[in-house]
Amino acid sequence: MKPPPFDYSAPTTLDEALALLLEHGEDARPLAGGQSLVPLLSFRLARPSHLVDLAGISELGSIVVDDGHLVIGAMVRERAAERHDDVRLLAPLLAQALPLIGHPAIRSRGTIGGSLAHADPAAELPAVALLLDAELVAQSRDRGKRTIKAADFFSGFFTTALQPDEILTEVRIRRPALRTGSAIEEVARRHGDFAMVGAAAMVRLEDGKIADARVALTGVSDIPVRATEAEAILEGAEPTDEAFATAAEEAAKSLSPPADLHGSSSYRRHLATVLMRRTFKLAAQRAKEAA
């Protein structure tokens, strides 16, 4: 349970960090908050030759509002985001999701960018990013900056579109439209554990009807997924319990969640159905209150 040997650098600028990643090649890894990477090292499931610590790079550590977008630096600690007024105002779903991540002692070190780049299919932030159509900005020394849509970012089990020489630098989230409500709920074996299944939903109402409904699920696939059947069923519908139940049940039919010792595939499908129904309902309620 001790990490294997590795080398370490602590650059103070992004340029320096990008050069280090290039220099040390594919066996080098960026180190963000370490709340996922350090246990992987201790279990020796990861054996990087070199860690590039991003904590000293101040340009990755701020939250700013830019042209209707909330822009969160990749190294912003989850606990800091949780306490930030702009996050509550401009990205309520993110504010609702943050307290569900691990425990306070994990969130005080864990970072927004680290969780996204780690891409655990059971984690909250990838699903939130997907639901909110977040834009993830990555940078490399040779190819400069590029913006990756959340829908294109998560490519598989713990795998993302990031290249070995790239660093995720910021996440851009558009502020929600008027009369929009959101909710996130999950079921875990123990409080603070990774959830077996989670659902994040957003509902926008117009003239009392659902103008836009979205839902993203964790724990039902190797990446976070949108339940598009449910979204299509709800568009234009009245926000009733029956409509939410039908949408959830229909969408759950096409899910084939993985099974493990915490729960069978059919149990996870059941959880997804219930959580979609609940989060749709709560999101619609909040949309009404926001009107």
Partner 1 sequence: MSTFDVELTVNGTPRQGSVEPRRTLADFLREDLGLTGTHLGCEHGVCGACTVLVNGEPARSCLMLAVQARGADILTVEGLANNGVMNPLQQAMWESHGFQCGFCTPGFLMQITALLVENPNPGEEEIREALSGNLCRCTGYESIVNGVLRAAGHDGSPPEPRH
Chain contacts with partner 1 (rule: CB under 8 A): 1-8, 10, 31, 34-35, 38-39, 41-43, 51, 53, 55, 79, 102-106, 108-109, 190-192
**Smallest distance, partner 1 to C-beta of residue 54, A:** 11
CB nearer to partner 1: give 51 or 171: 51
CB nearer to partner 1: give 40 or 161: 40
- Which pairing describes strands 28-31 and 50-53: parallel, antiparallel, or unpaired? parallel
**Smallest distance, partner 1 to C-beta of residue 99, A:** 9
CB nearer to partner 1: give 79 or 214: 79
CB nearer to partner 1: give 190 or 208: 190
Tokens of 196: 């077996």
CA-based nearest residue to 76, from 103, 31, 112, 48: 112
Contact between 25 and 164 (Cβ < 8 Å): yes
CA-based nearest residue to 201, from 215, 220, 180: 215
Residue 144: burial class (beta carbons within 10 Å; 0-12, 13-18, 19+)? exposed
DSSP 8-state assignment for residue 175: P
Tokens of 119: 């891409």
Query: Which positions ≥6 away from 49 have C-beta within 8 Å?
Result: 6, 7, 24, 27, 28
CB nearer to partner 1: give 32 or 243: 32
Query: Which positions ≥6 away from 63 have C-beta within 8 Å?
Result: 70, 71, 72, 73, 76, 80, 81, 84, 86, 87
CB nearer to partner 1: give 31 or 91: 31
Contact between 210 and 235 (Cβ < 8 Å): yes
**Smallest distance, partner 1 to C-beta of residue 287, A:** 27
**Smallest distance, partner 1 to C-beta of residue 210, A:** 33
CB nearer to partner 1: give 6 or 267: 6
**Smallest distance, partner 1 to C-beta of residue 249, A:** 32
**Smallest distance, partner 1 to C-beta of residue 57, A:** 13
Query: Which positions ≥6 away from 184 have C-beta within 8 Å?
Result: 93, 96, 97, 100, 124, 127, 128, 198, 199, 200, 201, 279
Kindly state the helix (H) or strand (E) to which residue 276 belongs, with its residue range: helix 265-290
**Smallest distance, partner 1 to C-beta of residue 44, A:** 11
